């Protein structure tokens, strides 16, 4: 059975610079990021509307990105699963989430942060995916003949890179 994975870097968020009032974890999407997320979701609704499970970091910008995408693809936003291991734990935290996906699920989206999403993508495939993920970028990988708990290094096949910042306004 074929498994489809979408790895998404969160969209554009507020830049807190040297401010100590807002924690990094609490940074929100700016209006540009909301639009990027919605455009990416709209594209995915046409490209691959069958995403069965969505996992997100609990950080505000990632969860908002996941929510806007989910709305566009018709995924119940209440079913987005927040995982602490998708914030600041490196690719190992992402692999932990992926390896725990139930066997009957065939398509998954994980929304997180750089550099972890880029490292995780590189870890999962031998293919050239176009370099580090920019904000509001999704990578589509496929795994043939593996269950989620069997997926590890270099088993994925690169299918498509989708840059939300370059998608046309619809």
As a whole number, mean pLDDT of residues 139-166 equals 96
**Confidence check: pLDDT of 21 > 90:** no
Domain extent, residue 44, equals: 2-127+151-163
Domain membership flag for residue 62 = yes
* CATH code, domain carrying 116: 3.40.50.1240
- High-pLDDT (> 70) share of the chain, %: 96
User: What pLDDT is recorded for position 165?
Assistant: 86
114 in any annotated domain: yes
Banded model confidence at residue 16, pLDDT cuts 50, 70, 90: confident
Starting at the edge strand that comes first in sequence, how are the strands of the sheet with 157-163 ordered? 81-82, 53-56, 107-112, 2-9, 137-144, 157-163
Number of domains in the chain: 1
Nearest to 62 by CA among 143, 133, 148, 147: 133
φ, ψ of residue 49 in degrees (nearest 5): -80, 0
Say which residues have a Cβ less than 8 Å from residue 46's Cβ, sequence separation at least 6.
none
In this predicted structure, the answer to whether residue 159 has a pLDDT above a threshold of 90 is yes
Q: What is the DSSP letter of 136?
A: T
Please indicate, yes or no, if residue 133 is contained in any of the structural domains: no
User: What is the model's pLDDT at position 15?
Assistant: 87
Asked if the structure places residue 82 within a domain, the reply is yes
């Amino acid at each position: 059975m074929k498994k489809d994975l979408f790895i998404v870097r969160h969209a554009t968020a507020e830049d807190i610079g040297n401010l100590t009032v807002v924690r990094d974890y609490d940074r929100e999407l700016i209006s540009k990021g909301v639009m990027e997320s919605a455009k990416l979701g709209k594209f995915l609704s046409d490209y691959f509307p069958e995403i069965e499970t969505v996992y997100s970091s609990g950080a505000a910008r990632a969860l908002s990105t996941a929510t806007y995408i989910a709305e566009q693809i018709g995924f119940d936003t209440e079913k987005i699963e927040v995982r602490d291991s998708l914030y600041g734990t490196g690719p190992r935290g992402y692999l932990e989430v992926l390896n725990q996906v139930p066997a009957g699920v065939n398509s998954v989206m994980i929304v997180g942060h750089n550099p972890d999403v880029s490292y995780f993508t590189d870890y999962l495939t031998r293919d050239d995916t176009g370099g580090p993920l920019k904000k509001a970028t999704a990578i589509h990988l496929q795994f043939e003949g593996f269950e989620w708990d069997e997926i590890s290094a270099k088993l994925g096949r690169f299918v498509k890179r989708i840059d939300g910042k370059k998608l046309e306004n619809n």
